[in-house]
Amino acid sequence: MTLDDVYDLFERIALVDDRIVRPNPADAAGQAEMWAVILRGVPLPFAAHAVIRHYQQSPYQLRPADIAEQWRLHIRDRLERHTESEPPDGDTGDDTYQAALLAERRAVASGAVEPRPVPQPRILTAGTDLAPGRGRAILAAVGQPAPSPAPGNPRSVHCPRCHAEPGRSCTTAGRRRADVHPARLETVRRAAAGLPPVDPAEEQRELERRREASRAALAALPPGTTTPVSPPPCNEQEAAS
């Protein structure tokens, strides 16, 4: 703000609060010079709007620091909403890009250029090999495979085997397991891959198929290959006999 801008601002402030401007002309001149120094770089339209905003929210007397604080928050908001330009291809790391970046920031802060929003992420399709991201692009450039997304917490879903509720540990024979049942882990992996959960009936059929295959494999073994296991005794008398 220039000195003339400050006098213009004083006239607007006097319409709302006549306590600001000093009644003595000499004191008012010195006051205007101090305000011009404090509000250097603040546009007059913004300062006038800041006066209105101040008296909408506060009954206290306006100070130049109140306008300067609103201007500082305004600049920070604009810079936070701005996406800075990437270095151009073939950048050698000299001061050219840094100078251009500083000029871009000043233009955004002053209002000469509107903040550039963050680009929308690229939508992945079934044929997309890599997810968007600078790290994955670098890995692809050096010939390294991109890491697959890690599955979520297996305890966050219901266990189809022991019916443990989400957030609860799996149990076997009433004892809490340190890990989770494979079926629960498979449910989380399928959810991370965008697949539907495993059908319990299908899972039961697969289990029966595996049991039948095991029985058939045991039956095909030559006699004497396996040793039959005797069932445990039911009570102490049978154990003694």
pLDDT of 215-230, one tens digit each?
776 676 666 655 554 5
Residue 167 lies in a domain: yes
Residue 29 lies in a domain: yes
Structure tokens at 5: 């801008």
Residue 191 lies in a domain: yes
Distances in whole angstroms, Cα of residue 187 to Cα of each of 44, 86, 150, 165, 197 = 62, 41, 13, 14, 6
Residue 94 lies in a domain: no
pLDDT of 169 > 70? The answer is: yes
Structural domain ending residue among the three candidates 37, 63, 81:
81
Q: What pLDDT sits at residue 181?
A: 82
In the chain, which ranges are E strands? 171-172, 175-176
Could you give the number of structural domains in the chain? 2
Residues 17/62, Cβ–Cβ less than 8 Å: yes
Structural domain ending residue among the three candidates 32, 63, 81:
81
> For the segment 204-218, what is each residue's pLDDT rounded down to a tens digit?
777 677 777 777 766
Q: What pLDDT sits at residue 234?
A: 55
Could you tell me which residue, 111 or 67, shows the higher pLDDT? 67
Residue 98 lies in a domain: no
> For the segment 53-98, what is each residue's pLDDT rounded down to a tens digit?
999 998 899 999 999 999 999 999 988 888 877 666 555 556 677 7
Burial class (CB in 10 A: 0-12, 13-18, 19+), 93: exposed
Q: What pLDDT sits at residue 168?
A: 84
Q: What pLDDT sits at residue 66?
A: 95
Residues 105/79, Cβ–Cβ less than 8 Å: yes
Residue-averaged pLDDT of the chain: 76
Q: Which domain holds residue 168?
A: 152-218
Residue 53 lies in a domain: yes
Distance CA 32, CA 22 (A): 10
Q: What pLDDT sits at residue 188?
A: 81
Query: pLDDT-derived band of residue 183, with 50, 70 and 90 as boundaries?
Result: confident
Structural domain ending residue among the three candidates 29, 55, 81:
81
Could you tell me which residue, 193 or 92, shows the higher pLDDT? 193
Could you tell me which residue, 50 or 235, shows the higher pLDDT? 50
pLDDT of 236 > 50? The answer is: no
Distance CA 205, CA 196 (A): 18
Estimate to the nearest angstrom the gap between the alpha carbon of 180 and the chain centroid.
Answer: 28
Residue 102 lies in a domain: no
pLDDT of 18 > 50? The answer is: yes
Residues near 226 by Cβ (< 8 Å), separated by ≥ 6? 218
Residue 212 lies in a domain: yes
Q: What pLDDT sits at residue 88?
A: 61
The reported pTM is 0.47
